[in-house]
């Protein structure tokens, strides 16, 4: 999806002028066949309500809402979307504060929420911490967001890599995110899109191995066994389920 940003990328003095430009941009993206999302300003800000009234349209796939912290905020956003004639537009919730991460489970269970993302930079700013190349300082928060998404049944997107010239870091983080159960990773530059697609799309080798594994496991089950030895590894239902997941992602 392509996100048009009325929040951090739009200076405070340009918020009003940005809204008609955002409407035009998202309309052009939809007309071109893209999945368009509008990132509005955070709940409680002086710009949020006007963003919804003057920039959101029914053709959007969703609105991306930064720094979500309470179910009440989501209820208010849903009411604003309904009042503006956009009741069917979903919310992608940004979990990027201490409170938002800790309360992620009830937030992502909200009926209007169709997805979420973890924002490491704002999270560490809220914590008063320091960002490091190791990502150790966000390991727990990153995992909590993935868990909340799984329990709520909504896809979650991993944090950005601000240095868009560092392909190695993006690829490494994307591999970590996929292993944690993230459905994708945010991109802040077009050069990162191919890296995200490569990371979250199973390779031909992964797909072929998953097919062989499932075939071997199903033969074992048919023969009355719950486990099978496959290429030097003991395979049972949880590993078979992982292999089915790989095949479900194959395109």
Q: What angle do CA 204, 205, 208 make, to 5 degrees?
A: 85
Cβ atoms of 37 and 2 within 8 Å: the answer is yes
Query: Distance (Å, rounded) from C-alpha 118 to C-alpha 94?
Result: 6
Measured between alpha carbons, how far is 51 from 172 in angstroms, rounded to an integer? 35
CA distances to 94, 193, 228, 240 from 156, in Å: 10, 17, 33, 23
pLDDT band for position 168 (cuts 50, 70, 90) = very high
Q: Please, are residues 119 and 66 in contact by the beta-carbon 8 Å criterion?
A: yes
Share above pLDDT 90 across residues of the chain, in percent, rounded to a whole number? 80
Please say whether the beta carbons of 153 and 84 come within 8 A.
Answer: no
Q: What pLDDT was estimated at residue 225?
A: 86
Burial class (CB in 10 A: 0-12, 13-18, 19+), 118: buried
Compute φ and ψ for 236, nearest 5 degrees. -130, -170
With a cut of 90, say whether residue 137 has pLDDT above it: yes
Backbone angles phi, psi at 156, to 5 degrees: -120, 145
Of all residues in the chain, the percent with pLDDT exceeding 70 is 100
Is the pLDDT assigned to residue 64 strictly greater than 70? yes
- DSSP H helical ranges for the chain: 15-31, 48-55, 71-83, 98-102, 104-108, 120-127, 139-152, 167-180, 193-200, 204-222, 237-249
C-alpha triplet 54, 82, 14: angle, nearest 5°? 20
Say which range, 47-51, 96-100, 224-228, has the weakest mean pLDDT.
224-228
Question: What pLDDT is attached to residue 251?
Answer: 64
3-18 tens-digit pLDDT:
999 998 999 999 999 9
Q: Can you give the pLDDT at residue 18?
A: 94
Q: Where are the domains of the chain?
A: 2-159, 204-249
CB 40 within 8 A of CB 85: no
Cα distance between residue 215 and residue 213, in whole Å: 5
The pLDDT tens digits for 15-29 are: 999 999 999 999 999
CB atoms within 10 A of CB 233: 9
Q: Is there a contact between 84 and 29 (Cβ–Cβ < 8 Å)?
A: no
pLDDT grade for 186, boundaries at 50, 70 and 90 = very high
Supply the pTM of this predicted model.
Answer: 0.86
Check if the beta carbon of residue 164 is closer than 8 Å to that of residue 191: yes
* From the candidate CATH numbers 3.30.420.10, 3.40.50.970, 3.20.20.60, 3.40.50.150, the one assigned to the domain spanning 2-159: 3.20.20.60
pLDDT at 85 over 90: yes
The angle formed by the CA atoms of residues 183, 189 and 194, to the nearest 5 degrees, is: 55
- In the three-class reduction of DSSP (H, G, I as helix; E, B as strand; rest coil), residue 65 is classed as strand
Structural contact between residues 191 and 177, judged by C-beta atoms closer than 8 angstroms: no
pLDDT of residue 97 exceeding 80, the answer is yes
Average pLDDT, the chain: 94
Beta strand 113-118 with 2-5: parallel, antiparallel or unpaired? unpaired
Taking residues 173-200, report their average pLDDT: 96
């Amino acid at each position: 999806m392509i996100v048009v940003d009325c929040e951090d990328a739009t200076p405070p003095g340009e918020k009003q002028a940005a809204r008609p430009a955002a409407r035009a941009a998202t309309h052009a993206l939809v007309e071109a066949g893209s999945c368009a999302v509008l990132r509005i300003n955070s709940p409680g800000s002086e710009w949020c309500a006007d963003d919804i009234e003057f920039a959101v349209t029914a053709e959007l796939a969703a609105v991306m809402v930064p720094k979500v912290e309470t179910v009440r905020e989501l209820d208010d956003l849903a009411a604003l979307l309904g009042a503006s004639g956009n009741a069917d537009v979903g919310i992608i919730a940004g979990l990027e504060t201490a409170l938002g991460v800790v309360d992620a489970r009830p937030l992502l269970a909200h009926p209007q929420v169709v997805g979420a993302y973890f924002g490491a930079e704002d999270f560490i700013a809220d914590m008063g911490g320091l960002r490091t190349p190791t990502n150790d300082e966000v390991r727990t928060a990153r995992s909590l967001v993935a868990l909340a998404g799984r329990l709520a049944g909504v896809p979650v997107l991993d944090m950005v890599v601000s240095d868009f010239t560092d392909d190695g870091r993006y690829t490494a983080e994307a591999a970590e995110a996929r292993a944690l159960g993230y459905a994708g990773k945010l991109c802040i530059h077009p050069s990162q899109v191919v890296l995200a697609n490569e990371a979250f799309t199973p390779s031909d080798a992964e797909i072929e191995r998953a097919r062989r594994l499932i075939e071997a496991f199903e033969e074992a089950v048919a023969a009355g066994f719950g486990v099978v030895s496959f290429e030097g590894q003991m395979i049972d239902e949880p590993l078979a389920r992982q292999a089915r997941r790989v095949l479900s992602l194959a395109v």
